[in-house]
Amino acid sequence: MNTDKPLPADVVAISVREHDDATTAELYDFVENAVEGLHRVGPDGTILWANRAELQMLGYGWEDYVGRHIADFHEDPATIDFILRTLLAGEALYDQPARLRCKDGSIKHVLIHSNGHFVDGQLRYTRCFTRDASERHERDQALAQRDAMLMAAPVAAALLMGPELRFRLVNNRYRDLIDTSSMLGQTFDEAFPHLGGAGVAEAVARVYASGVSYQAEELSVTRLDADGQPVERFFKFSLEPLLDLDGRPEGVIVVAVDVTEHVRNRLAIEHAAREREQLLVDLGAASQAKDEFLAMLGHELRNPLSPIVTALQLMRMRGDGAYGREGEIIQRQVDHLVRLVDDLLDVSRVTRGKIELKVEQVEMAQVTGRALEMASLLVEQRGHHLEVDVEPGLVWEGDPARLVQVVSNLLTNAARYTEPGGRIWLRARRDGADVVEISVRDTGIGLAPAMHEQVFELFFQGKRSIDRAEGGLGIGLALVRNIVELHGGSVEARSEGRGLGSEFVVRLPLHGVAGLAAPVAVVAAPVIDSAPQRVLVVDDNADGANTLARLLTAHGHTVEVYHDPVAALAAIERFRPDVALLDIGLPVLDGYQLAARIHVLPAGRLCRLVALTGYGQATDRARSQASGFAAHMVKPISGAEALRVVAGEAVSD
C-alpha cells in the first residue's frame, strides 16, 4: 500500500458513500497493488493518480509523476497527441505502442489500454493501463532485423510462417529467380502447383515438424522466358527451420540458388564423356575391323602368289631358255609383291600385338648386308649412290629378320623419295656401352616439320606426285616404328625441310630386351631329292594346286590333285597317299575337318598331313598341330620348301 500519498479526500468520500468499508478496502488494494501500471489522467492531460506498479515501472516517486502533464513522459509527441485526441473523441485504445521516459533517462516501450469517463458528455478523466512491452519490442526488433537481413540477402530467400507454412516474406532476388510476385500468403503448393510431384512442399513440412535442415539438389523448375516460351531452370533449395525463443518451430526459411549453368555444363561434360566413350568403342571396333581386313587381305593375296612362285621355279627347272629375261622380271616383281604382302601382314600382326620376335646374336654387318640385298634393286633402278659405314665386329642381340626388315624399309623409303641419281648413306655404330644406332640419310625431298611424326602413321604417304613414281603402300615406316619399339628402341625422323633431304635414326638396346622369345636358330637345308612319295594335294585354288603338283612330279613324286575336299576324302583308300598337302581354307570341309576325317580312315592313319595356309601366327600353328598336322606351311611356298616338307624334313618360315 502506498502510505506516502493517500487517495484524494473526494475519492474516499465517494467510496465511503457507495460501498461499505470492506468493499472499499478491497478495491483500494486491487488498484494500488495490481501487477500492471494504472493511472488516471484529467481532461487537460494532467496525471491525477498512479498506482505502485506504474511508478515502479518508470522509476518515479509520487511527487515526480502525479500532478504533471502526461506529455512530459512521452518520448514521441505525436503518439500522446493521438492518444489524447482519441480519448477526447470517446474512443477506446487497445495495445497502443508508446515510448515513455524513465526517471534514469532510459526509454521504456509500453502498450497502453485506455478509455474515458464522461459525465454529461464531458470527459472527467481517463482510465489508463500501462503494460511493459520491452521484451516484445526486443523480439519485434529482432524479427525486423531478421526480415531486413533476408530482404537484403545476396541470395534468393523467402520465409514461410505458421503451421500452414504460408509465405510471409519474399525478397526481390527470390521474386526475380522464381519469376513470380503473387506468392505472399500462399502455401508452397499454392504458389508452385507445377512442383506437386517434386516433394518440396513435403520437405518444407518435415523441416517445420522436425527442426532439421534439408537441401534439395538440382530441382527442375520450368519458367517462361521473355518470349513466353518454357525454359527449364535448375535450383538448389536449402530449407532451414525457424525457431521461437522457446525452441518451438514457427516457420521455415527457404534459400534458393540458380544452378542452371552449372547443371548444363555438367550435363554437357557428361554427354561429351559418353560420346567420347562411344567414340572410343567405335574407333576400337573400326581398328579391329581394319586389322582383321588387313590380315584377310594378306591371306587372300598369298593364295595367288603360290602358283606364281611355283610356276617360276618350274620354268627355271626346264632350262629350255623360255625363262629368259622376262622370267627374271617376273621373279623380281613377285619378290617385291611378296615383300609388300609380308609387310601388310606384319603391320597387322604388330597392331594386334601378335608378332613374335626370334632373338639371337647377330653381327650388324650381316643384318645390313641382307637389307642391302633386299633394297638393292630399287637403289640400282633409280641410279642412287649408296655409301655404307658399319662398325666392324658390332654384335647385336635381337630378331635379325625383323631388323633386316627395318633397315631395308628405311633404305627403300630413301630410294623412293630421292630423285634419281641421289645419294644415300647407311651407318651403323655403337653409341655408348648399351645402344646401337642405325641411320639412313638421303638427299631426297625432305620432310616438313609437321610430318616428322606423321610419317610413322599407318598408310601415311605425304604429298605424292601424280605418276606415283615413289610407289609403296605407306606401311613401311609404321612397321619400322612398331618393330623398333618391340625391341625397346626408338626411331626418329629428321629433316631441315622440304627439298633438303631426310634422316631416319634408329636406336636399339645392344642386348636383348627382357621378356622376348628365346633364341631360335634357323639353318636353311639344301634341297635334295628324296625317295618318291605318293602326295595328295587338296586346294580349291586350281592354279596353285596344279603348279605345285607339276613341281613335285618333276622331282619324281606321284601326285594327285583335288579341288574338292569331299572328292579328296573319297580317294584316300584308293590312292593311299604318304603325304597330304591340305589347304586350310577349303569349302564345305575346311582343312582341320578334312584332316580329322582322313585320320580315321585305315589308309589315312599313316598319312603325314601338311597344312597350307596364309596364316602363320603361333595360334594358327598350335591349332594345326592339335588337328594332327605334322607341318604348317605359310603361303606362298617356295619349291625348295615344298620338296623338303614332302621329304619329311623340318621347315621353318
Q: Which residues pair with 128 in a beta bridge?
A: 39, 114
Would you state the cell numbers that stand for residue 496, as one nine-digit string?
A: 631441315
Determine the distance from the C-alpha atom of residue 498 to the mean position of all C-alpha atoms in its chain, rounded to a whole number.
40
Alpha-carbon span 620 to 625, nearest angstrom? 9
Residue ranges for the chain with pLDDT beneath 70: 1-24, 154, 177-181, 194-198, 222-226, 290-292, 294-303, 306, 313, 317-329, 331-333, 335-336, 339-340, 342-355, 459-474, 512-530, 650-653
Residue found by looking up cell 642386348 in the block = 511
Which pLDDT belongs to residue 469? 42
Which distant-in-sequence residues (6+ apart) come within 8 Å of 506 by Cβ? 406, 410, 437, 438, 439, 480, 484, 489, 490, 491
Q: Which residues pair with 253 in a beta bridge?
A: 159, 240
Q: At what angle do helices 639-646 and 542-554 cross, to 10 degrees?
A: 70
Q: Which residues pair with 249 in a beta bridge?
A: 243
What is the 3-state composition of the chain as percent helix, strand, coil, each rounded to the nearest 5?
45, 25, 30
Alpha-carbon span 62 to 104, nearest angstrom? 15
Residues 484/508, Cβ–Cβ less than 8 Å: yes
Tens-place pLDDT, residues 116-175: 999 988 999 999 999 998 888 877 777 777 777 777 776 777 877 888 888 878 877 777
Residues 135/141, Cβ–Cβ less than 8 Å: no
Q: How far is CA 5 from CA 2, 32, 61, 114, 128, in A?
A: 6, 12, 10, 24, 19
Nearest to 195 by CA among 216, 172, 171: 216
Q: Domains along the chain?
A: 34-132 (3.30.450.20), 141-258 (3.30.450.20), 357-509 (3.30.565.10), 534-646 (3.40.50.2300)
Which pLDDT belongs to residue 420? 93
**If 0-12 CB within 10 Å is exposed, 13-18 middle and 19+ buried, where does residue 114 land?**
buried
Q: Which residues pair with 117 in a beta bridge?
A: 125
3-state secondary structure of 190: helix
Parallel/antiparallel/unpaired status of strands 502-509 and 490-494: antiparallel
Parallel/antiparallel/unpaired status of strands 249-258 and 435-442: unpaired
Terminal Cα-to-Cα distance of the chain (whole angstroms): 130
Tens-place pLDDT, residues 242-296: 887 777 888 888 887 778 888 889 888 988 899 899 888 888 787 777 666 766 6
Residue 251 parent element (H or E) = strand 249-258
Alpha-carbon span 74 to 97, nearest angstrom? 11
Which distant-in-sequence residues (6+ apart) come within 8 Å of 135 by Cβ? none
3-state secondary structure of 282: helix
Sign of CA dihedral 526, 527, 532, 535: positive
Residue found by looking up cell 569331299 in the block = 566
Residue 597 parent element (H or E) = helix 591-600
Alpha-carbon span 409 to 508, nearest angstrom? 16
Give CB contacts under 8 A, 24+ apart, made by 264-273: 264/234
Alpha-carbon span 589 to 612, nearest angstrom? 14
Letter for the amino acid at 517?
Answer: A
Ordered alpha helix ranges (H), 319-421: 324-351, 364-381, 400-416
Residues 87/107, Cβ–Cβ less than 8 Å: no
Q: Which residues pair with 385 in a beta bridge?
A: 423
Sign of CA dihedral 179, 182, 187, 190: negative
**What secondary structure letter does DSSP report for 604?**
G
Q: At what angle do helices 260-318 and 542-554 cross, to 10 degrees?
A: 40
Measured in degrees and rounded to the nearest 5, phi and psi for residue 334 equal -65, -45
Nearest to 360 by CA among 517, 523, 525, 524: 517
3-state secondary structure of 22: helix
Alpha-carbon span 248 to 229, nearest angstrom? 43
Q: Which residues pair with 115 in a beta bridge?
A: 127
Measured in degrees and rounded to the nearest 5, phi and psi for residue 278 equal -65, -40
Q: How much is the pTM?
A: 0.44
In three-state form (DSSP H/G/I as H, E/B as E, the rest C), the secondary structure along 475-518 is CHHHHHHHHHHHCCCEEEEECCCCCCCEEEEEEEECCCCCCCCC
Nearest to 112 by CA among 126, 98, 101: 98
Alpha-carbon span 594 to 591, nearest angstrom? 5
Q: Is the peptide bond before 636 cis (omega within 30 degrees of 0)?
A: yes
**What secondary structure letter does DSSP report for 652?**
-
3-state secondary structure of 110: strand
Q: Which residues pair with 426 in a beta bridge?
A: 388, 440
Which pLDDT belongs to residue 514? 39
Alpha-carbon span 368 to 203, nearest angstrom? 81
3-state secondary structure of 4: coil
Would you state the cell numbers that stand for residue 597, as one nine-digit string?
A: 576325317
Residue found by looking up cell 598369298 in the block = 302
Nearest to 306 by CA among 536, 541, 527, 529: 541
Residue 216 parent element (H or E) = strand 214-224
